[in-house]
Amino acid sequence: MKTIIEPFRIKVVEPIKMTTAAQRDALLRRAHFNTFLLAAQDVLIDLLTDSGTGAMSAEQWAGIMRADESYAGAVSFFRFRDSVKDITGFANPLPTHQGRASERILFELVGGTGKVVPANAHFDTTRANCEHSGAQAVNLPIPEARDPRSRHPFKGNLDIAALEALLAEVGPENVPLVIVTVTNNTGGGQPVSLENIRAVRAVCDRYKLPLFLDACRFAENAWFIKQREPGMSNRSVRSIVREMFDLADGATISAKKDGMVNIGGVLLLRDPTLLQRASELLILTEGYVTYGGLAGRDLEAMAQGFQEVVEEDYLEYRVRTAEYLGERLLQAGIQIIEPPGGHAIYIDARHLCPHIPPHQFPGQAVVAALYRSGGIRSCEIGSVMFGGTTPDGSPRPAPAMELVRLAFPRRVYTQSHFDYVIEAAQEVFAIRHGLKGLRIVEAPPVLRHFTAQFEELA
């Protein structure tokens, strides 16, 4: 077996500015130990997110030049519509500026006080939009999802028994829809099996509830299904993707992930009444239905991106990247969520820094150390992101895990960049006992991880 290489060559390059460890220490302090507050030019390898950070293809850039910027009925809109329809089967996709815009519209339509929205796992913006509408967001992952070492092939699955129990407890009349997030970002980029989506569908059918996908990483999820689910290896990713969407009544998509673009989103709805009402809300806050807050060129880039992401050479390379980094970190003694996910590797910060309690943010301490050591920007997914208080002021329960996410921009970094990341992580491992906890000095009540300011504890 030969090395799985990047299935592209590089036509445009963007220089990276080198920094010293001393410079990075000063920059980190100036950013109050929050890597969101760093200037991107002070980052060497930016693994903050895989969202909107990918490199576009020559065909996407060509589409950008061809784009029709007409206000209504632009050619670019029809290309976008046909491409999304080709991939998902939904005939009338609504463009939005990004995933959370789709979520906001959806929850304005179906949310509200007293409603309960179950999911395998809500992403933070999904939860925030759900709660903003007055509804309650409930995560129902399978038990294996809470064990970083469990090698369950579909750790993103929704716990069907827990869903049944929740419906019995709160009453299906209070549940406007069920969400399946593919892949489960907050739980380690873990996939959901087709069998599990079918099982959720069966429960939804029994209670006459709509099933929605949070389909940001639909292609990576389909690749895992092809690799891991019995009977799927001979199917094309395209056909698996199509079956995933066929099982759903709607979807919110951030095209900044598997849409392979820097900005863009989609809202998919099958129900004509809901579609009509969503179109009205779209016009109210995003833009007319044939551009949804985007330029024609963004629609062109999405139309092409949705086609490129289901190419299997690309997906093989993409998922191999995460696997490669994951294997090396495990060899170095760094516990990660196993098996490696699709778009990211998640370091188990509690395992790396058992001396730092959750309220002193072990994940944030590791984030700081990775930046100091290698100029690597990562993101905490733990007590910083999920802590704080609920809208009614009560403290949120401690998250099950304290994680540090290394998320991979699509088609941006090469294997030697990842080798460098491995070296920096090894350095952090060597000094792990000396890493210090942090204290929050200032933070907003919602989505606090973006702007919270920290101080290092003595």
Which residues share a beta bridge with 405?
Answer: 346, 379
Closer CB to ligand F0G, 19 or 321, in the complex:
321
- Least separation in angstroms between residue 255's CB and ligand F0G is 8
Closer CB to ligand F0G, 265 or 326, in the complex:
265
Helix locations, 255-311, DSSP H:
272-285, 296-308
Using the rule CB under 6 A, which residue among 34, 133, 136, 254 binds ligand F0G?
Answer: 254
Q: Which of 12-20, 119-127, 163-171, 414-422 is the region at the interface with ligand F0G (rule: CB under 6 A)? A: 119-127
Q: Are 178 and 209 in contact (CB under 8 A)?
A: yes
- Least separation in angstroms between residue 123's CB and ligand F0G is 3
Which residues share a beta bridge with 119?
Answer: 139, 179
Closer CB to ligand F0G, 123 or 306, in the complex:
123
Q: Which of 38-46, 120-128, 359-367, 395-403 is the region at the interface with ligand F0G (rule: CB under 6 A)? A: 120-128
- Least separation in angstroms between residue 124's CB and ligand F0G is 8
Closer CB to ligand F0G, 54 or 437, in the complex:
54
Using the rule CB under 6 A, which residue among 80, 123, 212, 346 binds ligand F0G?
Answer: 123
Identify the helix (H) or strand (E) that includes residue 347: strand 344-348
C-alpha 253, offset from chain centre: 10
Q: Are 310 and 241 in contact (CB under 8 A)?
A: yes
Which residues share a beta bridge with 250?
Answer: 212, 269
Using the rule CB under 6 A, which residue among 60, 76, 157, 181 binds ligand F0G?
Answer: 181
Closest residue to ligand F0G using C-beta atoms: 99
Contacts of residue 166, Cβ cutoff 8 Å, sequence gap at least 6: 116, 118, 138, 140, 175
CA distances from 335 to 327, 345, 400 (A): 10, 10, 15
Write the binding mask 83 to 112 for ligand F0G: x where contact by CB under 6 A, - elsewhere: ---------------xxx------------
Residues 20-49 that bind ligand F0G (CB under 6 A): 49
Using the rule CB under 6 A, which residue among 204, 216, 232, 421 binds ligand F0G?
Answer: 216
- Least separation in angstroms between residue 447's CB and ligand F0G is 10
Contacts of residue 375, Cβ cutoff 8 Å, sequence gap at least 6: 19, 24, 42, 43, 44, 45, 424
Q: Are 119 and 138 in contact (CB under 8 A)?
A: yes
Closer CB to ligand F0G, 100 or 242, in the complex:
100
DSSP string, 225-253: HHHHSTT-TTS-HHHHHHHHHHT-SEEEE
Residues 383-442 that bind ligand F0G (CB under 6 A): 407
DSSP class of residue 149 equals T
Closer CB to ligand F0G, 175 or 379, in the complex:
379
Closer CB to ligand F0G, 216 or 443, in the complex:
216
Using the rule CB under 6 A, which residue among 24, 256, 377, 432 binds ligand F0G?
Answer: 256
- As a whole number of angstroms, the distance between CA 296 and CA 399 comes to 41
- Least separation in angstroms between residue 126's CB and ligand F0G is 6
Using the rule CB under 6 A, which residue among 35, 60, 83, 126 binds ligand F0G?
Answer: 126
- Least separation in angstroms between residue 4's CB and ligand F0G is 24
Closer CB to ligand F0G, 53 or 360, in the complex:
53
Looking at this protein, which amino acid is placed at residue 303? A
Q: What is the three-class DSSP state of 444?
A: coil
- Residue 51 interacting with ligand F0G (CB under 6 A): yes
- Least separation in angstroms between residue 122's CB and ligand F0G is 8
Q: Are 95 and 291 in contact (CB under 8 A)?
A: yes
Residues 291-320 that bind ligand F0G (CB under 6 A): none
- Least separation in angstroms between residue 407's CB and ligand F0G is 6
Interface with ligand F0G (CB under 6 A), residue total 16
Closer CB to ligand F0G, 19 or 49, in the complex:
49
Closer CB to ligand F0G, 213 or 422, in the complex:
213
- As a whole number of angstroms, the distance between CA 279 and CA 217 comes to 24
Q: Are 119 and 200 in contact (CB under 8 A)?
A: no
86: exposed, middle or buried (Cβ count in 10 Å: 0-12, 13-18, 19+): middle
- As a whole number of angstroms, the distance between CA 404 and CA 340 comes to 13
The binding site for ligand F0G (CB under 6 A) comprises 49, 51, 98-100, 123, 125-126, 181, 185, 214, 216, 254, 256, 265, 407
